[in-house]
Structure 1
Amino acid sequence: MKKYTFAMLLTGFVTVSAFGQTPAKPQMVFVEGGSFTMGSYVGPSDEHPIHTVTISSFNISKYEVTVGEYKAFCTATGRKMRDVSSRKWSDQHPMGYVSFDDAKAYCKWLSEVHSGNYRLPTEAEWEYAARGGIKSSAKPGKKINGYTYAGSDNLEEVGWSHDQSQVVGGKKPNELGIYDMSGNVVEWCEDWYGDYPYDAQTNPKGPSSGSHRVLRGGSWASAAALCTVVTRHHALPDEGFVSYGFRVVLAQSIQ
Structure 2
Amino acid sequence: MIALPAGSFTMGSRKGDISEQPAHKVSIDYPFAIGRFEVTVAEWKACHAAGGCKYLPTRKGMTDTSPVYNLSWLDAEQYVKWLSQKTGKQYRLPSEAEWEYAARAGTTSEYWWGDDVGKGRANCKNCGGEWNKKRPAAVDTFAANAFGLQGMNGSVWEWVADCWFDSYRGAPQDGSARGKSNCQSRVLRGGSWRNDPDYARSASRFTYDHDVRYVLNGFRVARAMK
Does the alignment reach a TM-score above 0.5?
yes
1:181 to 146, 152, 156: 152
- The separation in 1 between residues aligned to 2:72 and 2:6, in whole angstroms, is 29
Deviation at 1:200, TM superposition (A): 6.9
Q: Which runs of 5+ in 2 are unaligned?
A: 125-132
Asked if structure 2 preserves the Cα contact closer than 8 Å seen for 1:152 and 1:174, the reply is no
Measured at CA, do residues 119 and 200 of structure 1 come closer, stay the same or move farther in structure 2, by a change above 3 Å? closer
> Secondary structure of 2:206's partner?
strand
| 1:148 is the counterpart of 2:110 | yes
Deviation at 1:102, TM superposition (A): 0.3
Deviating more after overlay: 181-190 vs 73-82: 73-82
Number of aligned positions between the proteins: 213
Measured at CA, do residues 119 and 199 of structure 1 come closer, stay the same or move farther in structure 2, by a change above 3 Å? closer
Asked if structure 2 preserves the Cα contact closer than 8 Å seen for 1:61 and 1:178, the reply is yes
- The separation in 2 between residues aligned to 1:121 and 1:200, in whole angstroms, is 14
- The separation in 2 between residues aligned to 1:51 and 1:241, in whole angstroms, is 30
- The separation in 2 between residues aligned to 1:121 and 1:114, in whole angstroms, is 18
- The separation in 2 between residues aligned to 1:245 and 1:199, in whole angstroms, is 24
| 1:164 is the counterpart of 2:135 | yes
- 4+ runs of 1 displaced by more than 6 Å? none
Q: Which runs of 5+ in 1 are unaligned?
A: 1-27, 138-145
Match of 2:162 in 1: 191
Measured at CA, do residues 81 and 108 of structure 1 come closer, stay the same or move farther in structure 2, by a change above 3 Å? same
- The separation in 2 between residues aligned to 1:225 and 1:199, in whole angstroms, is 23
Deviation at 1:164, TM superposition (A): 1.1
Greater fraction of residues in helix? 1
1:220 to 189, 193, 209: 193
| 1:80 is the counterpart of 2:51 | no
Measured at CA, do residues 172 and 152 of structure 1 come closer, stay the same or move farther in structure 2, by a change above 3 Å? farther
> Secondary structure of 2:169's partner?
coil
Give me the identity figure in percent.
Answer: 36
- The separation in 1 between residues aligned to 2:115 and 2:22, in whole angstroms, is 22
> Secondary structure of 1:202's partner?
coil
After superposition, residues 23-38 of structure 1 pair within 5 angstroms as 28-38=1-11
The amino acid that maps onto 2:141 is: G
Deviation at 1:187, TM superposition (A): 0.2
Asked if structure 1 preserves the Cα contact closer than 8 Å seen for 2:67 and 2:139, the reply is yes
Asked if structure 2 preserves the Cα contact closer than 8 Å seen for 1:97 and 1:244, the reply is yes
> 1:117-155 CA deviation, whole Å, 9 max, x = no partner?
0000000000000000xxx24xxxxxxxx2322444443
Match of 2:39 in 1: 65
| 1:118 is the counterpart of 2:80 | no
Asked if structure 1 preserves the Cα contact closer than 8 Å seen for 2:154 and 2:191, the reply is yes
What TM-score do you get using the length of structure 2 for normalisation?
A: 0.88
- The separation in 2 between residues aligned to 1:178 and 1:151, in whole angstroms, is 13
Asked if structure 1 preserves the Cα contact closer than 8 Å seen for 2:96 and 2:161, the reply is yes
Asked if structure 2 preserves the Cα contact closer than 8 Å seen for 1:52 and 1:199, the reply is no
Asked if structure 2 preserves the Cα contact closer than 8 Å seen for 1:120 and 1:248, the reply is yes
Deviating more after overlay: 75-84 vs 232-241: 75-84
Match of 1:245 in 2: 218
Measured at CA, do residues 198 and 220 of structure 1 come closer, stay the same or move farther in structure 2, by a change above 3 Å? same
Match of 1:140 in 2: none
> 1:57-109 CA deviation, whole Å, 9 max, x = no partner?
1000000000010011111107231222xx12110000011110000000000
| 1:201 is the counterpart of 2:177 | no
